[in-house]
Amino acid sequence: MGKESYLPLFETEAAKGRMAYMVYAVSVMMGICLICVYRLIHFPSPSQGRLQRWAWMGSFMAELWFTLYWLITQSVRFNPIYRFTFKHRLSQRYEKVLPKVDIFVCTADHTVEPPLMVINTVFSVMAYDYPPEKLSVYLSDDGGSELMFYALLEASRFAKYWLPFCKKFKIEPRSPAAYFETVCKALDDPTMAEEWSSVKKLYEDMKKRIVSTTKVGQIPEEIRKEHKGFQEWDLVSSKHDHPSIIQILIDGRRECSRGVDIEEKEEEEEEAMPTLVYLAREKRPQYHHNFKAGALNSLIRVSSRISNGPVILNVDCDMYSNNSESVRDALCFLMDEEQGHQIAFVQFPQTFDNLTKNDVYSSSLRVISAVELAGFDANGGPLYIGTGCFHRREALSGMKYKKDYKTDWMVKNDRKVEESTHVLEETCKVLASCSYEENTQWGKEMGLKYGCPVEDVITGLAIQCRGWRSVYFNPERKGFLGVGPTTLLQALVQNKRWSEGDFQIFLSKYCPFVYGHGKIPLQLQISYCCYLLWAPCSLATLYYVTVPSLCINRGISLFPKLSSPWVLPFAYVILAKYGYSLGEFLWCGGTFQAWWNDQRMWLFKRTTSYFFGFTDNIFEVFGFSKSGFVVTAKVAEEDISLRYEKEVMEYGAPSPMFNILATLSLANLFSFVGALKMVIMDSKTRVLDLLALQTMLCGLVVLVNLPVYEGLFFRKDKGRMPTSIVYQSVVIAILAHIAALLPP
């Protein structure tokens, strides 16, 4: 191998233009300092009234919070790094000794996560460009649905045609649904065209069977007789009360499918296939099942008995693999001779394939993926985001890192090839039972941690605190593509869960400054706070979009006069920050309209999702409520999908979040109209000079909320704002406007 054996399997490059960014950041900080000076030296005197003093103090406090949070975000922006892999070197050195890889796909409810979507994710990871006998795919069905089992049974049969087709023609992506949607007709190559048509027909036939069976909601008796696995559901009382169900549908040891229970052996040798396993862990009403974390811990234990791959990939059921070489990319990090031994997990970004051109709900996480997570990597490693992540099994299972640690990639489990599949299934049921974790370290020091809506984040933090580091990898061809929210409520509920869980971590013993003290670098502790402090950002934002606009009604000025030189630092900070934000967004591949949508959703999330996440945490601290896991729907009705494709915001269902959005938008609209009226009636333009910045802020909020006004008053479709919310928000906004005019 010569010198090639010493070349690294990956390289790291620092982001360019760091000096220019530093100049920008320092200049903004100087502007912020001048704003603080202005607030202090122009603090209202008692003669100006108590109301103005309190409003001024509130504005100053909000600005101090914005400053603190902005400083925190700089921890992930000063020095992002980017990784590149050399897969050909991996193949040259380790092709014959590549490790086993266990892949976990998690689903929780077949009504919001359709079986057809789930098995397309399963197909995409089964078809990786990797030795199939070294791949094992596990589907965890926390809904315990025989409809999901039936879909996976159908998948085990179709896989015998799909995987060879993918391998022969090296197609991308390897989710049948995504592939056939991209390649919608037979290709020019006659050989490929013939096989393409044949495989597509098989897929469409399978699709019809799954969709029709799912629509009926019951497995026909003739299908139930085809596989003895359906007998397991004879003991199922409900999805919350049933024993463990484990079925090995494709046994990689024997390189044959158990899609149908027939003992006869075919004469021709079948091509090697990945192992395929269905798991519905035991559920009992008296046991807390710990949501996705509990499911993954069951998978870790069951897989250790069946395949025991030293590398584990976990993906959500709606995140299909978009790159067949992702496994090899991850192994370039984990198997690198120089640095690989200290890497616990390789995190890919969370990206989506159903986004509109201008990303109406700002679901792309574009800047987070391109900049912030790369900054995390530079500070000690990205956080674990719960999907699209390759783990070292030992690190995920609780092992502490030691400097002399060496990996045995050829580690074997104690499973004997002669052991019957039925015996193996029965043995593994104990590992997935409710009582197995009692009096153990599972959920504490082993596996994923329990007790938080974002258990993935504290799990990744715990791994890093045990001495490991992580790596962020964002290849040009995205590793995984998922389904983003198609309604505004879905997007807000999803962000509410994230912000609530993140802030819960900050308030708990897992706060990075406490749990990570002396274990991870300070800059990494600060980096975590970029997301852990989403929720409290709501308070400052709500104040800033409410009080200054209401103060206009009284002629109370909270900003410098337009003619004052003190207006310059305010103007510079605003223009510099948003100018840089736009440039950064365009650099990340977005459009101007997508950036504007991102600013709108920034305001929507901070005034609703983050606010509810904050209040729920406070209630929980005082024992008034308990957090729960919410599964967001992955399908939408046809009319909703059409509006989404046209980038028309979907309101439709009533929600307290919409009450806040509508009320804030109307309150600012009334104040803006009132400000314009005062300016027009003031012949000496004193009002304009005094309230210019306040009026501009109010007008900006009005401009951002144009789709809300449209949904409130002008739209006639089913996606308009519910009538009850229209009435309530109008009344509350008018009352707020009147209250602001009353004498103190």
| Inter-residue long-range contacts of 111-114, CB under 8 Å, 24+ positions, other chains counted | 112/631, 112/632, 112/633, 112/634, 112/635, 113/317, 113/318, 113/631, 113/634, 114/214, 114/634, 114/635
Q: Which residue has the tokens 């045609």?
A: 161
Residues 6+ apart with CB under 8 A from 680: none
From 142, 316, 377, 598, active-site residue: 142
**Residue 329 bears catalytic tag:** no
CA distance 148 to 680: 65
215 closest CA partner among 224, 207, 205: 207
In one-letter notation, the amino acid at residue 667 is: A
Distance of CA 486 to the CA centre of its chain: 15
Q: Are 305 and 427 in contact (CB under 8 A)?
A: yes
DSSP state of 12: E
CA 513, 378, 319, 333 torsion-angle sign: negative
Two structure tokens written together for 331: 């192994």
Q: Are 375 and 366 in contact (CB under 8 A)?
A: no
Two structure tokens written together for 351: 């990206």
Residues paired with residue 270 on neighbouring β-strands, in sequence order: none
From 102, 251, 316, 456, active-site residue: 456
CA distance 281 to 694: 57
CA distance 615 to 533: 13
Residues paired with residue 283 on neighbouring β-strands, in sequence order: 242
Q: Quote the crossing angle between the two packed helices 537-552 and 50-73, to the nearest 10°.
A: 140
Decide the pairing of beta strands 480-482 and 320-321: antiparallel
162 closest CA partner among 324, 390, 388, 326: 324
Based on the number of CB atoms within 10 Å of its own CB, is 635 exposed (0-12), middle (13-18) or buried (19 or more)?
middle
CA distance 160 to 178: 19
CA distance 278 to 619: 39
507 closest CA partner among 533, 526, 530, 525: 533
**Residue 316 bears catalytic tag:** no
3-state SS of 196-214 is: HHHHHHHHHHHHHHHHHHH
Two structure tokens written together for 666: 């109307």
CA distance 672 to 678: 10
Residue by residue, DSSP assigns 351-420 as EESS--TT-TT--S-HHIIIIIHHHHHHTT-PPP-SSSEEEEHHHHTTPPP-TT----TT---S--TTS-
b/e for 236-247, b at 16 or more Cβ within 10 A?
beebeebbbbbb
CA distance 195 to 165: 8
Positions marked catalytic: 142, 456
